[in-house]
Amino acid sequence: MGVIAPSEYHALADQHGGRSYLQVASWAAVKTEWSSELLAWRDADGQVVGTTLVLYRRLPGVSRWYAYLPEGPDIDWADPRLERWLDPLLDHLDRRQVFAVRLGPPTVLKRWQAATLKAAVRRDRRVDDVLPDVVEPVGASVAERLRDLGWSRGGEDGAGSDAQPRYLFQVPIDGRTNADLWGGLSKEWRRNIQKAEKSGIEIRQGAESDLPAFFELLEATERRNGFRLGRSLAYYQRQYRVMNAERLGRMRLYLSTWNGEVLAAHTMNVVGRRVWYQSGASANHHREVRPSHILQWTMMSEAQQLGADRYDMRGVSDSLDPEDRAFGLLRWKLGTGGELVQTVGEWERALPGPINQLLLRAMTRYRSRG
């Protein structure tokens, strides 16, 4: 394996369904606190068979680097000999003076249908307490093989917890018509969308100039719901600018307006046949006109028109406790009729050598302070 030219990497981004938006080359320009490198695996004929964006960050006070492959690499994870992919990666990183690496295999471990989880909502219950509808054999195999190869899953064996969500909510789209998607919505969702339409909510796709309005609503949403993403307006402006410079329409902003006022604003990312709802925000007032439900329906319909195989609504809590504040977001997403998927999570290991082991432990302590 070796470095791949940005132009060749760009050309491959939207093929074969598309890689994660966290693996497109422009994502490196979003994460300005990291340096980066584009790598590729090639077959005997020189054809690219796998790619990855690697982010590098130096541990304070030392000359070695920590490597992170968010939702990557994009390789054949079904290959029973994963070391054929990972050993060349580790060799390359060792030459780059990397002391440890974390990766996020884009493979699914378990799936729960919305109806299954709705029926299982109970006090003190979590998703893993419920028998899944599907256990994916590739995901189970990947987890087993990584452990055999010396990797530790995020949150286990002293490794830091996952940076990306392990539980995702997704709406399957491939092979479904818009009418099918509508029929999959809960009665509450359909009623709220119809209420928004009757109230005169208007939906439009925004531009970079609309990001301040989005960010103002995001700050209100964070205060209302008690969470903090820690991203600035400049972060979203940079993301919008660099991702759309790479490919027009890569990042999109959708707005719900009522009587000329923006009441909700959500961002969406598109790579090939993959579509993600990334961040959502809404006002504290006029919530009775349901600006977010109709906005999500518009984005889901747009994903269907783009030929997406699924609409990824990103992370949710694993709580099924109706009294748990964290359950509220999952409850809202369950109304789309999609499914909750548990990925194999992020995996981490030090490169060979006692010093690298010590540095990884130091890195874990450093992260835990932040």
**Mean pLDDT along residues 302-328:** 95
Q: What is the pLDDT of residues 248-290, one digit of tens each?
A: 999 999 999 999 999 999 999 999 999 999 999 999 999 899 9
pLDDT at position 227: 79
Tokens of 166: 């392990």
Q: Please give the Cα distance from 196 to 170 (Å, whole number).
A: 23
Q: Which CATH architecture has domain 1-104+347-369?
A: 3-Layer(aba) Sandwich (3.40)
Helix (H) or strand (E) holding 295: helix 291-305
Domain 1-104+347-369 matches domain 174-308 at the CATH topology level: yes
Distance CA 184, CA 260 (A): 31
Q: Does position 367 have pLDDT exceeding 80, yes or no?
A: no
* Residue pLDDT, tens place only, 105-164: 999 999 999 999 999 999 999 999 999 999 999 999 999 999 999 999 986 655 557 889
Q: How far apart are CA 95 and CA 81, in angstroms?
A: 23
| Residue 214 reports pLDDT greater than 80 | yes
CA 244 to chain centre: 18
What pLDDT sits at residue 159? 53
Rounded to whole angstroms, what are the CA distances from 270 to 75, 275, 310? 20, 5, 11
> In degrees rounded to 5, what are phi and psi of residue 192?
-70, -35
Which CATH number does 174-308 carry? Answer: 3.40.630.30
For residue 369, name the pLDDT band (cuts at 50, 70, 90): low
Report the pLDDT value the prediction gives residue 230, as an integer from 0 to 100. Answer: 84
Q: Looking at residue 240, what is its pLDDT?
A: 98
d(CA 61, CA 363): 11
Q: Which helix (H) or strand (E) holds 89?
A: helix 83-95
Domain boundaries, the chain: 1-104+347-369, 174-308
- Find, among 86, 33, 76, 39, the residue nearest to 57 by Cα: 33
Mean pLDDT score, 86-104: 97
Q: Are strands 202-205 and 251-258 parallel, antiparallel or unpaired?
A: antiparallel
Indicate the burial class of 365 (C-beta count within 10 angstroms; 0-12, 13-18, 19 or more): exposed
Q: Give the whole-angstrom CA distance, residue 121 versus residue 137.
A: 27
The proportion of the chain whose per-residue pLDDT surpasses 90, expressed as a percent, equals: 87
Dihedral sign for Cα 96, 99, 104, 110, please: positive
Residues paired with residue 251 on neighbouring β-strands, in sequence order: 269
